[in-house]
Amino acid sequence: MKQLLLALAIAATVTACATATSPTGRTQRVGAVSQQQLDQLGAQAFAQAKASKAQSSDSRQNAYVRCVVSAITRELPAQAQAQWETAVFADQSPNAFALPGGKVGINTGIFTVAKNQDQLAAVIAHEIGHVISRHHDERITRQMGAQAGLGILGALIGSQYGEGAAQATSQVGGAAAQGLILLPNNRVQESEADVVGQQLMARAGFDPQQAVNLWENMISASGGARAPEFLSTHPDPRARLSELNARATGLSSTYRQARASGRSPSCG
């Protein structure tokens, strides 16, 4: 009976969500929260970042980032072209993010590895690729499903073997969910954001080959040190470079057409 109840509860959790197709044709499970809720979460996270981190007062840097973001977001579907808000944080770590609701954050440290507007576009397009591929929705849905299943399992074990067993189940199950469910999916999302971002930057008139140069700069800046691939949320750098380079070749005609049609960003 307990096994049946567990199966029914997990089935109810799963069926409450929906499937969708990502921009690369991958099947996703999404829908644990609405798009409106996602946008609200994005706005809250962005507001918290701005409240807790110093922002750059360099008007040139801010205009530069806004210019690149605007050029990229003009290539999004109409419903995603709403005014995107940007913030440049005075932080020397080379990092960037984009959030649902049209938010982009850039650390000033990114300028040490993104040497020109095309390389900065590669960073920003990759991050926006996460948003338009519904990766935040997908991660939240997957994590909520994992937590619900673990909570039910812990409750059932606890009712039979005691609270200590329930806590142990939750801890071990949480590690398994993190290592075997959540992290592999994140690596898939990173690779997908590479694909979507490189396509997006080429359509916007930025050179897709510069995505390769960007990651070469990233590897050089890190000294080549990294965690083993199976413990990382990012693809192996060398494999990533090979894939980026192959796609850049395939996107050269898209880039040339964009430039010929007048999409020639001049951001700095």
Angle between helix 183-203 and helix 237-250 axes, rounded to 10 deg: 30
Distance, CA of 10 to CA of 23 (rounded, Å): 28
CB count within 10 Å of CB 11 equals 10
Dihedral sign from CA coordinates of 126, 128, 130, 132: negative
Q: How far is CA 4 from the centre of its chain?
A: 37
127 a catalytic residue: yes
Considering the candidates 127, 138, 190, 192, report the single residue annotated as catalytic: 127
Distance, CA of 37 to CA of 33 (rounded, Å): 6
Q: What tokens appear for 223 in the block?
A: 């000294």
* Per-residue CA distances from 184 to 81, 177, 188, 215, 263 (Å): 30, 10, 7, 21, 36
Catalytic residue set: 127
